[in-house]
Amino acid sequence: MFLFGSQSISAQTRKAFIRAGDEAMTAENYYVAYLHYQSALTIDSTKAPLLYRFAEAARRINDYENAAIFYERILYKKTEDQFPLLYFQLGTVSKYLGEYDKSLFYYKKYIKGKELNNSFPSIKTYQEIKALEQIDSLKIKNDNIQIKHLPRAINTPYSETGGREKDGYLVYSSLRYKNKNIENGATEYLSQIVQSRNNLRARPVKGINKKGMHNSNPAFNSAGNILYFTRCGNENSANIKCQIYKSELRGTRWTNPEVLPEKINSSGFTATHPAVGRDTFSNKEWLFFVSDRTGGEGGMDIWQVEILENGQYGSPKNAGKGINSQEDEITPYFEEATQQLYFSSNWHYGLGGYDIFVSENINGNWTAPKNLKPPFNSSYNDIYFYKKNNYGYFSSNREGAYRLIKEGACCYDIYEFEETIKE
C-alpha cells in the first residue's frame, strides 16, 4: 500500500512538472520549461511525448546535443509517427552540431513521400538539402584569416555582441547587467552599451543607457559624431520589441538620445540593428536597419533609408529579394571603402544557424550574397560582422564561447579577426 501511494505521488508530481513546463513553453520561457521537463524526466523517462517536449525546449535554448539525443530516443521507441516534425527537427539540430551527413539523411527522411507545399518546414527542408549537397564547398577555410577569442575582460558568460571601434575604444553591447523586475520581483539581465580600451574591463557609455531596458547594437556614422543604437523592452523572455535611437557627440558628451521617427520605428513592429554608410553610386548616406514590418520578404528583413542633409529621413525601402528571404536577415554592416554590405542570414546556403554573407553594391544594385565560409562561419550562429581595414570583429555562440548555463550554446562572445596576405 505504501509503494502504491508513493507511485501515485510521483505520478502527480510528474504531471505537475509537465504542466508547469507546458505553461512556460506557451509563455516562451524556454529555459524554465527545459528545467521543468528535466525534473519530470527524473521521475519517468519512458514516455515519448515527454521526450519530445524536452527535446523541443532544449532546441529552443540552443542545447542541440540534448535535443538530438532526446529526439533520437523517440526513434528508438518506434513512435516517430506521433510527431510529424520529428525528422525535420532532427535535420535542424544535426546541422547545428556540424553533423552534415546525418542532417541530410534526416531532411530527406522528412520529405520522403511528401510533395513540396507552401508550409515552412517543406520549403525550408528543400532549401537545406540544396545547401547540404554543396556543404564541402561551403566548408573551405580561408587561411588568410586569423581569429582570436577576446579575453574575459571583454567576454563574459553572458552575451557580448556588436563590436565597433571609436577613438581607440571597442564599443559593444553586454548582456550582463542585473535588473529586478518591478512587477514580479524576478531578476532579469539587461544589455548596456559599454566601451573598453586595450581589452581592459569595459564600462558603460555615459548618457546612452536607460535603466530597465535593453540598450544595444551601437553604430556610428562615418564622421563618428552620431551614434545610432536600439532600446528594447521585454514583452516576455523571448519576445522583445525594439526601437532605434540616435545621439550626437557634443564635445566629450553624448546628447540625450532621441527616438527616430515612426517611418523607421513602425508602430507594432521591431526596428533594430542600425548601420550607416555612404553609397558612392548615389552619393547618399544610408541608414540600414532590420525590421519585421509589413512589406518585407518574410521574418526579419534588412531595410535602408536615406539620411537627408538636413538630418531628416527619406522613405524606407526594402533591400530586396537578393538580400532578404523568407527567414531572417540581421546585423547589417556597410563598408564604404568596398561598397559591400555584410549581414547574417539563416536562409541563404550556410553551415548552420546564422552565417555571415557579403553583397556588393554595383550601380545601386546588390549582387548575389556570398558566404564568408570558415573561420567566420561555423555550424552555430555567427553575427554582427564589422570590418576596419584588414581587421574587425564578429560575434558567435560557437563551441568555445563562454556559457552562462552548462546546457546549450546560449551566449555570444566577440571574436577579433585579422586578414594577412601570405606570400
The confidence score (pLDDT) of residue 236 equals 53
The predicted-structure confidence for 48-61, as pLDDT tens digits, reads as follows: 999 999 999 999 98
What is the pLDDT confidence band of residue 2, given thresholds at 50, 70 and 90? very low
Of the candidates 417, 420, 364, the residue with the CA atom closest to the CA atom of residue 147: 417
Q: Of the CATH numbers 3.40.50.720, 1.10.3720.10, 3.20.20.70, 1.25.40.10, which one belongs to the domain with range 2-138?
A: 1.25.40.10
Decide: 379 and 91 in contact? Cβ < 8 Å: no
- CB half-sphere exposure, 370, CA atoms < 13 A: 9
Residue 3 has pLDDT above 50, yes or no: no
The predicted-structure confidence for 6-22, as pLDDT tens digits, reads as follows: 455 566 798 999 999 99
The predicted-structure confidence for 217-271, as pLDDT tens digits, reads as follows: 999 998 999 999 999 986 555 567 899 999 999 998 999 999 999 999 999 999 9
Decide: 17 and 36 in contact? Cβ < 8 Å: yes
* Domain regions of the chain by residue span: 2-138, 145-419
The predicted-structure confidence for 152-166, as pLDDT tens digits, reads as follows: 999 998 899 999 999
The confidence score (pLDDT) of residue 184 equals 55
Q: 2-138 and 145-419: same fold?
A: no
Mean pLDDT for 302-309 is 96
User: What is the model's pTM?
Assistant: 0.92
Give ∠ CA 83-84-85 in degrees, rounded to 5.
95
In which region does residue 298 sit, left (phi positive, over 0), alpha (psi from -120 to 50) or beta (all else)? left
CA 90 to CA 247: how far, in whole Å?
A: 45
Architecture of domain 145-419 in this structure: 5 Propeller (2.115)
CA 134 to CA 351: how far, in whole Å?
A: 10
